[in-house]
Structure 1
Amino acid sequence: MSANVKENVATIANPILDELSMELVDVEYKKEGKNWVLRMFIDHPDGIGLEECSLVSERMSQKLDEEDPIQGSYYLEVSSPGAERPLKNAKDFQGAVGKNVYIKTYEQIDGRKTFTGELVAYEDGEITINIREKTRTIAFQVPERLIANARLSVL
């Protein structure tokens, strides 16, 4: 059910965000305590502030009321992805080249599953990260299919 809600919300949100030159970074729909929360993370090249979140929240509330894609009551939250923005697709990874990232893999690579370093390249579904350990830098590639979690990292 949650996956369908996320897809339906993305379908509704994308035209609104396109009109505002914003992008939908992620959608969460989950139960928190007794309540369901629909959380949207949005971004813009110039950043996201309270005004932008309020504007999108207003427009989304109206559209969600019209289309009613979610049964039952829920709280809508719209926010910026923050400094540790998730990396979900090729566009995200390409935009993160040159930045510090945190990567967690499904399987061990060189004896470990978590990596933090500079994303130096993204090509054909492979990421290359420079990891600084003590005084050396290690460059290695990870196939995108092995990535369990990826986000920007604040070192």
Structure 2
Amino acid sequence: MIDNFAIEKLFKLVEPIVTEKGFEFYHLEYVKEFGENYLRVYIDSPKGINLDDCESVSRPISDMLDTEDPISEAYYLEVSSPGIDRALYTDKHLSKYTDSQVLVKLDKLFEGKKQYEGILSDYSSEEITLKINEQDFIIPRDKIKIIRLNGEM
């Protein structure tokens, strides 16, 4: 696997390509699944993302990766939309989706549960606040595994 320094470098290499193509650079991840490595680049747009959009971004990213060669091991490049139930990774994402329905999954039990659903009403570097049944519920960020938009509520 690649380290955080390499991930930061990838962010800096990929973001200008995505924005030059007229899209929002939403997120990037490098993961191993089923024995294969994947570099996933998530792009977004107010009008949504289609297959042609992904292809238009994938080609120049692939060319740049061939030139820069920032990853020494074999991997697959995937460019896609973050989806309707997108994960919220950054404070920018939390800000954009404040007052939205979210699903919060935790690493361990907190207040007797590992999963919470509610409206994201506030956040800080230390915690997030969900409105659940008109009550504020505070969850420390260091306990959170993932926060996703929840379109099913």
**Partner residue of 1:151 out of 135, 148, 151:** 148
Aligned length: 150
Paired residues of 2:30 and 2:37 also in contact (CA < 8 A): no
Structure 1 residues 120 and 141: alpha-carbon distance in aligned structure 2, compared to 1, 3 A threshold? same
Paired residues of 1:102 and 1:153 also in contact (CA < 8 A): yes
- Aligned ranges for residues 43-54 of structure 1 at < 5 Å? 43-54=44-55
Q: Which residue of 2 aligns with 1:3?
A: 3
Q: Give the Å deviation of 1:49.
A: 1.5
Q: Which residue of 1 aligns with 2:76?
A: 75
Structure 1 residues 69 and 115: alpha-carbon distance in aligned structure 2, compared to 1, 3 A threshold? same
Q: Give the Å deviation of 1:72.
A: 4.0
Structure 1 residues 112 and 39: alpha-carbon distance in aligned structure 2, compared to 1, 3 A threshold? same
Q: Which blocks of at least 5 consecutive residues in structure 1 are unaligned?
A: none
SS at match of 2:139: strand
Q: Give the Å deviation of 1:107.
A: 4.3
Counterpart Cα distance in 1 of 2:73 and 2:144? 34
- Aligned ranges for residues 5-154 of structure 1 at < 5 Å? 5-19=6-20, 20-33=22-35, 35-123=36-124, 125-132=126-133, 137-154=134-151
Counterpart Cα distance in 1 of 2:33 and 2:117? 31
Query: TM-score, structure 2 length as denominator?
Result: 0.84
How many percent of aligned residue pairs carry the same amino acid?
36
Paired residues of 1:106 and 1:148 also in contact (CA < 8 A): yes
Counterpart Cα distance in 2 of 1:124 and 1:32? 34
Q: Give the Å deviation of 1:36.
A: 3.0
Paired residues of 1:13 and 1:24 also in contact (CA < 8 A): no
SS at match of 2:47: coil
Per mean C-alpha deviation after superposition, the further-off stretch among 81-90 and 14-23 is 14-23
SS at match of 2:3: helix
Counterpart Cα distance in 1 of 2:37 and 2:116? 33
The one-letter amino acid paired with 2:131 is N
Query: TM-score, structure 1 length as denominator?
Result: 0.83
State the superposition RMSD in angstroms.
Answer: 2.1
Q: Deviations over 1:113-150 (max 9, x none)?
A: 21011112224543221224xxxx33211232221211
